[in-house]
Amino acid sequence: KKSEFGLFGLGVMGKSLSRNLANKGFNISLFNRHIKDTEEDVAKNFKNEFKELSTSLPFDNIEAFVNSLEKPRKIMLMVNAGKIVDDVIEDLLPFLDAGDILIDGGNSNYNKTKERFDYLKSKNIHFVGAGVSGGEEGALKGPSIMPGCPKEVYKNVQPFLEAIAAKDANNLPCCTHIGTEGSGHFVKMVHNGIEYVEMQLLAEVFVMLKALGKNPDEIANILESWKATTNSYLLEITVDILRKKEGDDWLVHKIMDKAGNKGTGNWTTIATAELGVPSTMIASALFARYTSFYKEERVNASESFKENTTQNLNLTTGDILEGYQFARIINHYQGLKLIQEASKSYHWDLNLSELARIWTNGCIIKSDLMVELVTVFKSTDNLLTDKSIIQKIKALKPSIKKVVSEGVLNELAVPNFSESINFLNSFAVANSSANLIQAQRDYFGAHTYQRINDDSNKFYHTEWNN
């Protein structure tokens, strides 16, 4: 009997997704290469480890794996993003038939996904670029899945992907057809950009609460109390992290303060720059990670620029909570704005409310705010025009101003908090300073400018020295 679905690559995510599929009753085939220099049969050993996999078919031979699948074949690739995806596609191609479907479930770059889509189309193979969020546990118990492909192709993979996805509050799957080709991976990429900011904001909260003299347990208790109004997955895990001890010290004190990244925040920043969208908080969160990486130079700089002023942070934890709430709204505005602008440029016709909905469970950025946004995006694509959001922002503004001012006065690193209010200050202003920029451009480069109260679309040049 042939399998209904194939899983290629049994790393952490591949293994969890396989077990999830098997738990939902699907007959699956599993493939993994022998690990170099060992004779370990990864797929077979894995199958034997879990009883839900008792009817699954393990392979270490690509041809046999492909032949074990029902046509049109559906093969999900769970391999590292990058060149490996192309190598795997080449390895599979000789054994595939027209109409077969490959699904890339990794964090691939959306531009690459588009290229692979076109390449495989020329070989009559369908390609689905699917963002998968939720880490190891999400993959096992129900991730949020963001598949991009033609709608007809989606129908073939829908029963599988929707069965294994997390469920929202109405028991609907946190998986929906996003749009064509690269759209799924684009949306997942921006999900990660929003994730970078949510993480950085919590790191800045940590900095400020530390400066108020709190230890990690006390900070965890404060964050715990925030769950009642401002819960999110990332807040929850941060509470757990802060409570973790090793010996008589907190583990967080022993972790090297250099933040890594696998590239999605970098790509989101490139995309936002290319599309001309000011998602400033994502860029700022990315650069905060990059700054952290200069550990040695930071240590030296901290000596060079040391001041003898005593810290006097005039803030309550309530101010910090409200500042955090403010910054999160701006983050979600900016992230979804980027998606909306990409949707227009690439003609993806994305549905922001649906995106928020599939992000209410399973994924890393699930939160109470995301649940609220499902409704808000039903009536507008622009968060900053929604009455309830406007009310909230106005109510929270005094706190973010105070938090950022106090942070700066006390020389605390709060770039993301600061960016959130600076963005609103730049955006919610009828007459900006860009008139001066235009004059400067015209002065040195004769780039011309338009005039206020002149709708003739005329461009003017001035001889500035006369």
Closest distance to ligand 6PG from the beta carbon of 144 (Å):
8
Return all residues near 197 (Cβ < 8 A) that are at least 6 apart. Answer: 281, 282, 284, 285, 327, 331, 335, 416
114 is a catalytic site residue: no
Q: What are residue 232's DSSP bridge partners? A: 367
The two beta strands, 5-8 and 101-104, are unpaired
Closest distance to ligand 6PG from the beta carbon of 133 (Å):
3
Return all residues near 133 (Cβ < 8 A) that are at least 6 apart. Answer: 143, 144, 145, 146, 188, 191, 359, 362, 363, 364, 365
Annotated active-site residue in 162, 181, 195, 372: 195
Compare residues 128 and 363 and give the one whose CB is closer to ligand 6PG.
Answer: 363
**In whole angstroms, what is the distance from residue 85 CA to residue 79 CA?**
7
b/e map 395-422, b = 16+ CB within 10 Å:
ebbebbebbbebbeebebbbbbbbbbbb
**In whole angstroms, what is the distance from residue 231 CA to residue 168 CA?**
16
Closest distance to ligand 6PG from the beta carbon of 262 (Å):
4
Closest distance to ligand 6PG from the beta carbon of 136 (Å):
9
Closest distance to ligand 6PG from the beta carbon of 192 (Å):
5
Dihedral sign from CA coordinates of 132, 159, 115, 93: positive
Annotated active-site residue in 114, 188, 337, 366: 188
Sites of contact with ligand 6PG (CB under 6 A): 107, 133-135, 192, 195, 260-262, 264-265, 363-364
Closest distance to ligand 6PG from the beta carbon of 43 (Å):
24
Return all residues near 76 (Cβ < 8 A) that are at least 6 apart. Answer: 5, 6, 7, 8, 17, 103, 105, 130
* Residue in the shown chain whose Cβ atom is closest to ligand 6PG: 133
Compare residues 192 and 361 and give the one whose CB is closer to ligand 6PG.
Answer: 192
Compare residues 219 and 364 and give the one whose CB is closer to ligand 6PG.
Answer: 364
**In whole angstroms, what is the distance from residue 410 CA to residue 315 CA?**
11
Compare residues 261 and 385 and give the one whose CB is closer to ligand 6PG.
Answer: 261
195 is a catalytic site residue: yes
Interhelix angle 183-211/216-230, nearest 10 degrees: 130
Residues labelled as active-site residues: 188, 195
